[in-house]
A = this chain, B = another copy of it.
Amino acid sequence: MNKTKTFTIPTKAGTDVIDITSEVSKIVSDSKIKSGIACVFVAGSTASISTIEFEPNAVKDLKRALDKIAPENGDYEHHKTWGDDNGCAHVRACFMGPSRSFPFEDKKLILGTWQQIVLLDFDTKNRERKIIVQIVGK
């Protein structure tokens, strides 16, 4: 069996980190699939899905680390291609990837106590993001 569900999330310019655990959990518990894999995917080349202990200070630490790899105010070759200003967002998103997969049992995600599922939007303008949750199991 499988089930595809989509939801959208408004995001703010800059690296916006948003807890989407409750949305994903609800999709998993509302489906008729008891156990399996939930693939959480964000459409777009400047955003990612991951997990973190979602509290403001850990998010600050994450942003500082991202700035080491791809600084927000750096020079990017990509800016020459289309006149864009979001080169850092493309690099960050490629590193972290567009999807993470999660096991579930009895219609419940198997997460650690402090482990939340987050959307990371690295883009330099406000966006409306489409998240796809694809559930496969039985």
A residues sitting closer than 8 Å to B (CB atoms) are 1-2, 4, 35-37, 39, 41, 43-45, 50-53, 55-58, 60-62, 65, 68-70, 76-81, 87, 90-91, 93-105, 110-112, 114-116, 118, 132-134, 136-138
Contact = CB atoms under 8 A, between A and B. Distances in A.
A132 B108 CA distance: 13
Contacts of A93: 51-52
B57 A2 contact: no
Nearest to A41: B103
18 contacts: A2-B137, A41-B102, A43-B112, A44-B115, A45-B53, A45-B114, A51-B98, A52-B93, A55-B81, A61-B70, A61-B78, A62-B90, A62-B91, A94-B96, A98-B100, A99-B100, A99-B103, A103-B133
